[in-house]
Structures are given as C-alpha cells and as structure tokens.
Structure 1
Amino acid sequence: MLKIFVILIVGICGTQGQVPVFDDCPDFDVVENFDLNRYLGKWYEQYRYVNVFELMGKCNVAEYSLNANGSVNVHNEQVNTLTGKIKTIDGNAVPVGEITEAKFIVNFPQGGVFSNAPYWVLDTDYETYSVIWSCEKHLFVSSRFLWLLSREQNASDKTVKKMYAVLDKFNIDRSLMVSADQENCS
C-alpha cells in the first residue's frame, strides 16, 4: 500500500518535482523593483533541492540573455558525471506581470522537461547571489524547487551566508538542499 501511495504522489507531482509537500505553495515576496538587465548573465548553481533533471549532473550553470521580443533566453548546462559529456537545454522565460516584479514563467520546449514552471527571484544583489524559488500545486500536494546561485563558480562563505539568510527569512527548509558539485569544471 505504501508503494502505491508513493507512486501516486510522484505521479501527481510530475517527474521533475522531488520535494513534494502536503500543503499549498507558500506566497513569498520577491525582489522589489527587479532590474532584469543587471540580472542577465552567467550564474553558477551552489545548492538546490533534489530534482530529476539534474541527477548525475555537475558544473551546473545558467546563463540568461535578452531575446529580441523582450523575453529571456535561458541556457542551462551541466556535465554528466558518468560520461563527462556536456548536456544543455534552452528555454524561454516571460514575466508573469510587470518586469520589475521578479516573477517569471519558464518553458523548456526540448523534450517536454519543465514546462511553464514558476521562477521567482526571492532575493539577489545581482553581483554575488540569487535565490530562486519555484512551487506548483498538484491536487493536495505541492512540488517545490529551490536554487541558490552565485556569480562565482565556487561561492565564498560570505555569499553563502547571504543566501542562507534569505532562506531563514522565508523559513525555507535547508535540510532538503544538496550541494552542487562545481569541482574540476572547465
């Protein structure tokens, strides 16, 4: 019976959601007066909640650039830890409301991975760190994603403390995070 229940929960949350919670999605505040132009560029993953699409990956990087139509090109890449090959996926992010609200919907059309997912910038200083939250409600369960990003491939302790302070401010569970492997990356 427990096995059937677990399969049901994973099915409801989708294959990408690895942190299912029997609750609604929290309504977190995001960065006020978000400056997209300052946010664009390369970000290195430092910590995240576990998710299927990043399994067996290391050296995870996200690069954001502006498209001609005003949407944001999202280019993610990682190195497969088994094969050593670089895996990339490109998507598109569009603002949910005003561009200064720091709430986007991201779509990765390749392979149907992660379609129309929320991308909320909870906090950033644009130069050292960014804390990203995503949550989707599926019937009685919400699937939650979290990414802590840094402009440096290996964030300083000072930068990590800033990101942790954001998590503490929102009472986001740190025990569910895994550290991203940024060692021996080119």
Structure 2
Amino acid sequence: MNSAVYFLLLMLPLISAQITRWGPCPTPRLQPNFNLERYLGKWYEIEKIPTFFAQGKCDEVNYSLRNNDTIKVVNSQMFQGNYRYIEGTAVIQNTRQPAKLGISFSNFTPYSTYWIVSTDYTSVAIVYSCTDILHLFNYQYVWIYGRSRSLPAMKINNAKKMLRKEGINVSKMKRTDQNCNTDQADRVAFC
C-alpha cells in the first residue's frame, strides 16, 4: 500500500487539472450503433477538463483512416504563437463495442480509453477517457467537440447534462478559446 501512496504523490502534478476520484473508472453508456465513417474528419474542441498536455487555444482533432484499418488522429493547437500538432493512433478494440476506442500518441505507451459517449456526427460529439490506477483512484478527461469552432449554449448544456447523468463530473470543464488564425502560424510538432 505504501508504494501506491508514493505513486499517487508522484502523479499529482500531472493529474491536478483532471477530475480525480477514488475508486475505479465510471462506465458511461456510449453512442449506440457508432459509425466510425461518419465520425471521421475535423472536430473543434469546444470545452474540456483541462489537461497538462493541451494548454493552448484553437484545439482541433482530425480523424482519418489508414490503410491498416487504424485511425490516424492529429491533435493540434496554437501555443505561444506556434501551431503545434501531434499524431497518434486510435483503434476499435472490440468490434462489438465500436464507440470504445483506444488511443496512443507513442509507440511505447499502451492505448488509453477514448470513448465516444454521444455524437450526432454533424455538429457535436462528447468524448470521455478515464485511467484507473490500481482500482484505488482514477483520473478523467472529457471533451465536447463541434464540427465548427462554436456551438450553441443549449448543445453544450445538453452535453454536460448527459455527462452528469452518467456520473461524470463536469465541474472543472473550461471553454476552449477558438479565436485565432491558425493559417498564419508556424507549424511545429509537440515536444
């Protein structure tokens, strides 16, 4: 048990912005009959639980299929005047549950949960991720995405209501600044 406490103390700086809760991860209901083909393309981050790895503005994610049936995921953002991006890979880990994706941004890390809670494919998507640490505690990420840089307040409120109904804490969600011109910025890879 002492090693778990030390591990928690080491992880605190990394998880301070996320929602951290005792116990295992919640298991929300996910998008029924999820259709990956309709989900592919560009999504703009509207709101999220802040993360240590994405602290810029104008965050976007673009999904496309690769020839090997994996999903290419390119996350991008403006940070300190530069357009930064990182490429990762997502996979459907169980064809009977296609809304449960696994995602990784390194060949050396396992796939993290990346679940599509809900989407209408044309305007809004809600994505949830949770990491369980030894069944003692978990830390959660939540994103609300839109096909455009803004969503009506009613859609955002409905998304948060759905998340709360599934037992997911949305109290730390913050609006993403989507006011920038990414076409004029220098492009650099995430470090």
TM superposition score category, shorter chain reference? 0.7 to 0.9
> What is the alpha-carbon distance in structure 2 between the residues aligned to residue 161 and residue 69 of structure 1?
38
Would the aligned equivalents of 1:47 and 1:148 in 2 still touch at CA under 8 Å? yes
- 1:124 aligns to 2:123 (yes or no): no
Q: Which of 166, 169, 173 is residue 173 of structure 1 equivalent to? A: 169
The structural deviation recorded for 1:169 is: 2.5
Give unpaired runs (5+ residues) of structure 2. Answer: 183-191
Would the aligned equivalents of 1:31 and 1:124 in 2 still touch at CA under 8 Å? yes
Question: Normalized against structure 1, the TM-score is what?
Answer: 0.85
Would the aligned equivalents of 1:129 and 1:148 in 2 still touch at CA under 8 Å? yes
Aligned length: 176
RMSD: 2.2
| 2:178 aligned residue | 182
Q: Which of 99, 103, 108 is residue 100 of structure 2 equivalent to? A: 103
The structural deviation recorded for 1:39 is: 0.1
> What is the alpha-carbon distance in structure 2 between the residues aligned to residue 25 and residue 10 of structure 1?
19
Please give the residue correspondences for 1:4-83 in structure 2 after superposition, counting only pairs within 5 Å: 8-9=7-8, 11-12=10-11, 15=14, 18-55=18-55, 57-80=56-79, 83=80
Please give the residue correspondences for 1:141-160 in structure 2 after superposition, counting only pairs within 5 Å: 141-160=137-156
| 1:87 aligned residue | 84
> What is the alpha-carbon distance in structure 2 between the residues aligned to residue 76 and residue 36 of structure 1?
18
| 2:189 aligned residue | none
- The one-letter code of the counterpart of 1:66 is L
> What is the alpha-carbon distance in structure 2 between the residues aligned to residue 73 and residue 22 of structure 1?
33
Identity of aligned residues (%): 28
